[in-house]
């Protein structure tokens, strides 16, 4: 199936059936999120996976009791780093030397350049940037879920401070940014009609703007 037809068939599920998503599909979905591009490759976010029913019910209380939480197969919580620091950059280069042919230390000049950028930015804009980047990962997760025939519902209708508290995220330097419930729609459920800008209203010819 192409991504386009998978996306045409997906919609934001409000309540899932009892059917659970198998772990092989969950692996593909989390891999799509992991492979998302990020600024300088720093990946200033993590993906938390939750299936525990008791924990899901507790989290629902911090998400306006939206039905997706207690009924989903798996809940993904995208947690952004609360700050991007020199430590974030060092951790990235440690991964780089481990995963590539570059000799340890050979990229110190580039590391210093990124650290210079990090130290030139206000802390709040780095925290915002980490959250924005988590959304790119979310988009790819939704796309891969749709290709796997798995239904999903992205959600910002929750209280991040409540999630941070329940999941103990603050002490890990993380904050809940956006969540996505996955599972399966009720059998026979009709796909609602899509409401989107017409492509000619959405895609703007920039050549004519200047």
Ligand X SMILES: Cc1cc2nc3c(=O)[nH]c(=O)nc-3n(C[C@H](O)[C@H](O)[C@H](O)COP(=O)(O)O)c2cc1C
The residues binding ligand X (CB under 6 A) are 11-12, 14, 66, 153-157, 178, 194
Contact assessment for residue 78 and residue 178, using Cβ atoms and an 8 Å cutoff: yes
Minimum CB–partner distance for residue 154 and ligand X (Å):
4
Nearer Cβ to ligand X, position 27 or 194? 194
Nearer Cβ to ligand X, position 48 or 155? 155
Dist. CA 31–CA 41, nearest whole Å: 15
Nearer Cβ to ligand X, position 198 or 209? 198
Minimum CB–partner distance for residue 111 and ligand X (Å):
33
Dist. CA 105–CA 90, nearest whole Å: 11
For 78-139, give the DSSP string.
Answer: EEEES---HHHHHHHHHHHHHHSSPPTTTTHHHHHHHHHHHHHS-HHHHHHHHHHHHHHHHH
Minimum CB–partner distance for residue 32 and ligand X (Å):
16
Can you say whether the dihedral through the CA atoms of 119, 124, 127, 128 is positive or negative? Answer: negative
Nearer Cβ to ligand X, position 102 or 156? 156
What dihedral angle (degrees, nearest 10) is formed by the CA atoms of 31, 21, 148, 142?
A: -60
Minimum CB–partner distance for residue 157 and ligand X (Å):
3
Nearest-CB residue for ligand X: 157
Contact assessment for residue 166 and residue 58, using Cβ atoms and an 8 Å cutoff: yes
Nearer Cβ to ligand X, position 36 or 89? 36
Minimum CB–partner distance for residue 155 and ligand X (Å):
4
Nearer Cβ to ligand X, position 32 or 89? 32
Minimum CB–partner distance for residue 156 and ligand X (Å):
4
């Amino acid at each position: 199936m192409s991504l386009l037809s998978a996306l045409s068939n997906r919609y934001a599920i409000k309540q899932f059936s009892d059917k659970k998503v198998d772990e092989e599909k969950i692996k593909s979905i989390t891999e799509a999120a992991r492979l998302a591009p990020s600024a300088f490759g720093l990946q200033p976010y993590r993906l938390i996976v939750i299936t525990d029913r008791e924990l899901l019910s507790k989290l629902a209380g911090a998400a306006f009791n939206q039905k997706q939480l207690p009924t989903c197969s798996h809940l993904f919580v995208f947690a952004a780093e609360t700050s991007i620091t020199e430590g974030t950059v060092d951790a990235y280069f440690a991964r780089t030397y481990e995963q590539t042919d570059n000799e340890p230390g050979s990229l110190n000049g580039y590391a210093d350049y990124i650290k210079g950028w990090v130290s030139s930015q206000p802390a709040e804009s780095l925290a915002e940037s980490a959250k924005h980047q988590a959304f790119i990962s979310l988009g790819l997760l939704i796309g891969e879920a749709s290709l796997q025939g798995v239904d999903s519902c992205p959600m910002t209708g929750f209280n991040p401070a409540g999630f941070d508290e329940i999941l103990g995220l603050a002490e890990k330097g993380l904050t809940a940014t956006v969540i996505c419930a996955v599972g399966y729609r009720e059998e026979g459920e009709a796909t609602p009609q899509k409401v989107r800008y017409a492509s000619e209203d959405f895609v703007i010819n920039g050549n004519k703007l200047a």
